[in-house]
Amino acid sequence: MENLLAGLEMLARWDVLVALIIGSIGGVIIGAIPGVGPAVAIAILLPATFGLDPIVGLTMLLGIYGSSMYGGAIPAVLINTPGTAVNALTSYDGYPMTQKGEAHRAVSLAYSASFWGGIFGILCLILLSPVLALIAPMFGSREIFLAATLGIILVILAHRGQIFAAGFLAMFGIFLQTVGLDAVTYTQRYTFEFSFLSSGINLIVVVLGLFALSQAFFLLTGPDSSPDAKPVSGRMSAGLKELLGHKRVATVAAGFGVILGMIPGTGEFTAQFMSYTYAQKTSKHPERFGKGSPEGLIASEAANNAVPAAAMIPLLALGIPGEALTAMMLSVFYVHNVIPGPQLFQNNIDLVYGLYFALIALNIIVMIFLLFSTNLLTKIIRVPTRFLGVMILLLSFVGVYSLRNSLTDCMISAGFGVLGLILKRLNLPIVPIILGMVLGGIMEVKLRSALPRLKTPLDMIDRPISFILFAIILIVLALHVRTLIKEWRAHQPAEDHDMHDSQLR
């Protein structure tokens, strides 16, 4: 009870409330504008949060993270253009409903499903917190090293069809975090006698380059356009009543979001497709999916909005981010010397509960805001893409320069911006680079800490949790190899048949 009261007291601070309102409403607006997205916004705001209290900075970033998906559903439903990448599946059924003249129904259902998914995910997180508090102290250096290794593996394997590229980019991220002065031996690593590399490559500089500047370059080099969204008439609260008729689909979809949100490298996309597939297979009218099914819309939005709260579980309990946005939030913890992991639940439990209540409050604020401002947001959607690109470019360079007042950082970030643009043009993933930098740093520190206490390599897995994590790594790799063998065998008969036909000719 004392922890709950401490969390509520922290949330009641005026600066926390202001950060929460700015983050929540700002996240909706950012999500509603196609071409921006939460990653770009968080990357730009990240340097500004370093001067704030941890709870204030994290609340603002969480507000953007959790609310952007609400806003992203608006253009997905109205103009078939997802505001954020994770709203892509929303357009499958949302836009056909708009074409049928049911835009109001689709938008209100998307809001209601998002709200249910968000609250469900937070409640699961709060219920799991006592378990986390008990388990977290059992994680020593070797356990966290193995958990980080598992995270890297899952991130790579999550990119089906691009595993080699994802693995190479993750290794590139691990390499980037080794550049600079070694904190233990005080030797230069991969600096090549360039003095500006002695302090290493700053994670935020890379984040701003890969996400913000690359998106600015992408918008500026593409055709200029101004999407046109028609106003929506009707009560936005009507979707809450209809959602009750599909509470099974909404609950299962939110459950998928929670479970997969806790697993590094999976996130919203996997949760969405699994929940959408479940909804279609268990529906009385599966033929309506993709043609304007309310169940499909609910499954998509409930799943992706349950993920943000669930993604905080590995971040808070182990200090291991599951995707790029939580990796950015991890840097806020580090700047203020608040280290997520086993000690957080013992020393800063009030901060943890403050974040829980902030997540609940942001969903309520966003829902109230959307009930009265949907038509205002349809006007914001019409912002020209070239103008957006110029604004992102300007704000990104301001953010990079403000870190250390360094033009060198601006040039490095611009270089990573060009790299990010190339990766986008080639349809290759960016996230593995960021997670490689973050998880690679954790792996190096924890491995160095564990090695003095190890006499043989088997000592790394001589404790129950470390052995379980090692077993999970082997199982994940074995299942992936099995999947590859099955796919190869499935293609082999077809190839043999084609070869036989060519010989007959």
For residues 207 and 198, what is the distance between their CA atoms, to the nearest angstrom?
Answer: 19
Q: How confident is the model at residue 199 (pLDDT cuts 50, 70, 90)?
A: confident
Looking at 44-58, 406-420, 425-439, which range is the least confident one? 44-58
**Strand, coil or helix: 356:** helix
Using one digit for the tens of pLDDT, what is the confidence trace for 359-371? Answer: 888 888 888 888 8
Supply the Cα-derived Rg of the chain in whole angstroms: 23
Mean pLDDT of the chain: 80
Q: How confident is the model at residue 416 (pLDDT cuts 50, 70, 90)?
A: very high
Looking at 91-95, 107-111, 479-483, which range is the least confident one? 91-95
Q: How confident is the model at residue 1 (pLDDT cuts 50, 70, 90)?
A: low
Name residues whose C-beta falls within 8 Å of residue 159's C-beta, 6 or more positions apart in sequence: 165, 166, 429, 432
Q: Write down the residue that tokens 């086993």 correspond to.
A: 342
Looking at 1-10, 242-251, 402-411, which range is the least confident one? 1-10
For residues 291 and 152, what is the distance between their CA atoms, to the nearest angstrom?
Answer: 38
Tokens of 101: 């003249």
For residues 305 and 375, what is the distance between their CA atoms, to the nearest angstrom?
Answer: 22
Q: Where are the domains of the chain?
A: 2-453, 458-490
Cβ atoms of residues 303 and 117 within 8 Å = yes
Supply the pLDDT for residue 504: 52
**Strand, coil or helix: 115:** helix
Using one digit for the tens of pLDDT, what is the confidence trace for 313-361? Answer: 778 777 777 677 777 777 777 777 777 776 777 777 777 888 888 888 8
Q: What is the 3-state secondary structure (H, E, C) of 405-452?
A: CCHHHHHHHHHHHHHHHHHHHCCCCCHHHHHHHHHHHHHHHHHHHHHH
Supply the pLDDT for residue 133: 66
Cβ atoms of residues 63 and 16 within 8 Å = no
Taking 80 as the threshold, does the pLDDT of residue 36 lie above it? no
| Backbone CA torsion sign across 109, 112, 118, 124 | negative
Say what the pTM is.
0.78
**Strand, coil or helix: 55:** helix
Residue 189 backbone dihedrals phi, psi, to 5 degrees: -125, 120
Supply the pLDDT for residue 438: 82
Helices and strands: H and E segment counts in the chain = 21, 2
For residues 191 and 198, what is the distance between their CA atoms, to the nearest angstrom?
Answer: 6
Length of the chain, please? 505
Tokens of 162: 């691009």
Task: Compute the C-alpha angle 175/177/180, nearest 5°.
Answer: 100
Using one digit for the tens of pLDDT, what is the confidence trace for 262-313? Answer: 776 666 667 777 787 888 888 787 777 777 788 888 888 888 888 888 888 7
Rounded average pLDDT over 430-452: 84
Supply the pLDDT for residue 45: 80
